[in-house]
Amino acid sequence: MAEFEDAHLRKTYRLKIPAKVSIDGKEYKVLDWSYEGFRIEKSKEDVFEKDKVYKVKFILPFASFNVAINAEAINKWSSEDQAGFEFKELPDEAKEILKKYVQAYIEGRLEEFGEFLSTAERLMVPPPIEEPLTEEEERRLNRKLFIAILVYLLIALALAFGLYLVFWATPKAYSVDAFYSGNVVSLITPWEAILEKVYVKEGDEVRKNQVLFKTSRIEDEKDGYGGVGVRILRDRAAILREIEKTKNKIALLDERIKATRFRLRSLKVELEKAKSAFELGYISRSVYEDKENEYKELLLSLRELEKEKSADERYLAFLYTLLKELGSFYAGGGGGDEEDNFEIYRAPFDGIVLSVYYLEGQILTPGMPVMVIESLEKKGYVIARFKKRDVLYINVGDKARVYFPSIEKTVEGKVIAIGKKALGDESMISESEEYALPDVPVKIELFEYPQELHHGIKAEVEITPKHYEPYIIRYIKRFF
């Protein structure tokens, strides 16, 4: 193997054997690779930090299975559509695998089939022939097997019984459901209005008194057009909704067109290979014609998608023209200061925008939230639900251990309320649910608040009761 590596390392320094690589859960096509690293094809949105170490899974794709190698790679360079990585350190086993596949590829024992590899030959190894057991040997073997099964069964039963006792004797209670309820505020409008402008989006961090959105109040008696203006505003909102719907449809068509074009290019290569195989007599005419018909049908489908997209784009332009005409009509007459009809909504504290429920131009329903903001100052609680039999041994002041799986953080806390008292303004659960759900709510105060914590995040809670009698003791007490 060492002689082979010395002889072929320079030749195969930049191999173009089909391969893929998974980085941070996303797969990329490998353009070329070597024992030292690889070069991938990527989109503009994918950003890799230079000299950062990434955990990668290097994949050699076969038609019926994949050969995957887990390794660490360092990003050395990156452009808009490509990036280069260097293996930090390949395990010896991974090096041996790559050497074997490179040698097989060079010797012609592996062939490319599109984006996959296939074996050009298969080594058939005859199975070893064993002498049959005698009747006495078979009897002794069965006896030993029966005894072994019996022993393992007894051990398993003893272990299960021990675990059963330990579990019930362990003074801990585990939640069946839990979440973090943060300090959140819902911004609503008390009257019917048009959402004129939204200045932030979901996930934005805002400061106190920062402008969030602006509305224009709808009042028929103050319209200035005898109610016509209100109807125009409603029509404008409907057109805006139709514009958003058409934009989404065009974006979806774009994705379908891209996918169809990609499939068309791949099918064209397959068709050219099928044509060569047909001319050489390797495949029949019917197989070639099926492939040709598939290509023509896909090409026709692409043309239909392009026509549909063109029609939607013309419709979108018409909607924008109609919206402009409605806007000029509403702004062209009437009296009074138009700014007097605007309402400006500002952030009540420093926080993060969790949700935005309306789009610009839509009519706001009175009393319904327009936007939800969570305070940056972490003062929330964890609301957990426990089985009724576990809550019997939980008391206010008991220590709690809270684990947040999504951020992989564990925080200590204590129980501050049990039952209906745990359901307050800070909770997302209404008091009526206390009677509808079979489990009992417990409110937990945290001793620290991780920065990644946000409203609604799921949690797992473990409480250690101060006064808890193990199951064995409770069972024995029944006889005295």
Q: Indicate the domain borders of the chain.
A: 2-119, 134-169, 173-182+378-477, 226-333
Q: What is the pLDDT of residues 167-177, one digit of tens each?
A: 555 567 888 88
The Cα–Cα gap between 124 and 147 comes to 39
Q: Which residues of 320-332 are buried (b: 16+ CB within 10 A; e: fewer)?
A: eeebeeeeeebee
Give ∠ CA 471-386-430 in degrees, rounded to 5.
160
Give ∠ CA 339-345-351 in degrees, rounded to 5.
155
pTM of the model as a whole: 0.35
Domains 2-119 and 173-182+378-477 fall in the same CATH topology: no
Q: Strand, coil or helix: what is 123?
A: coil
Taking each continuous run of H as one helix and of E as one strand, the counts in the chain are: 8, 23
Q: At what angle do helices 285-331 and 228-279 cross, to 10 degrees?
A: 160
The Cα–Cα gap between 435 and 57 comes to 50
Under a CB-based contact definition with an 8 Å cutoff, are residues 20 and 28 in contact? yes
Candidates 387, 377, 357, 393; CA nearest to 454 is 377
Q: What is the pLDDT of residues 108-164, one digit of tens each?
A: 666 554 554 555 444 333 344 455 777 888 888 889 999 999 999 999 998 887 776
Give ∠ CA 445-454-366 in degrees, rounded to 5.
105
Candidate CATH numbers 3.50.50.60, 2.40.10.220, 3.40.50.300, 3.40.50.720; the one for domain 2-119: 2.40.10.220
Under a CB-based contact definition with an 8 Å cutoff, are residues 350 and 207 in contact? yes
Fold observed for domain 173-182+378-477: Elongation Factor Tu (Ef-tu); domain 3 (2.40.30)
Name the one residue in this structure whose structure tokens are 């500002």: 346
Candidates 393, 380, 474; CA nearest to 440 is 393
| Backbone CA torsion sign across 221, 224, 226, 227 | negative
Cα–Cα distances (Å) from 68 to 58, 60, 107, 148, 345, in that order, read: 6, 6, 22, 38, 54
The Cα–Cα gap between 443 and 427 comes to 9
Q: Which runs of consecutive H residues, i.e. helices, occur in 332-410?
A: 388-391
**Listing from the earlier edge strand, what are the strands of the sheet with 369-375?**
184-188, 369-375, 351-356, 205-206
> Residue 451 has what DSSP assignment?
T
Q: Which residues of 265-303 are buried (b: 16+ CB within 10 A; e: fewer)?
A: eebeeebeebeeebeeeebeeeebeebeeebeebeeebe
Under a CB-based contact definition with an 8 Å cutoff, are residues 109 and 121 in contact? yes
The Cα–Cα gap between 391 and 402 comes to 17
Question: Would you give per-residue pLDDT tens digits along the chain (480 residues)?
Answer: 444 444 444 444 577 778 889 998 889 988 888 878 889 999 888 889 888 999 888 888 776 667 788 888 999 999 888 999 998 877 778 777 777 777 777 776 665 545 545 554 443 333 444 557 778 888 888 899 999 999 999 999 988 877 766 555 556 788 888 888 877 788 888 777 888 888 998 888 899 889 999 888 765 444 444 444 555 566 666 777 788 888 888 888 888 898 888 888 888 888 888 888 888 888 888 888 888 898 889 888 888 988 888 888 888 887 777 776 665 444 433 333 344 567 888 888 888 888 888 888 788 877 788 888 888 777 778 989 988 877 877 888 888 999 998 888 899 999 988 887 777 544 444 444 444 457 888 999 888 888 788 777 889 998 887 765 555 555 566 565
Cα–Cα distances (Å) from 202 to 39, 206, 212, 220, in that order, read: 35, 11, 11, 33
pLDDT at 83: 92
pLDDT at 185: 80
User: Strand pairing partners for 116?
Assistant: 113
| Backbone CA torsion sign across 360, 365, 366, 368 | negative
The Cα–Cα gap between 338 and 216 comes to 9
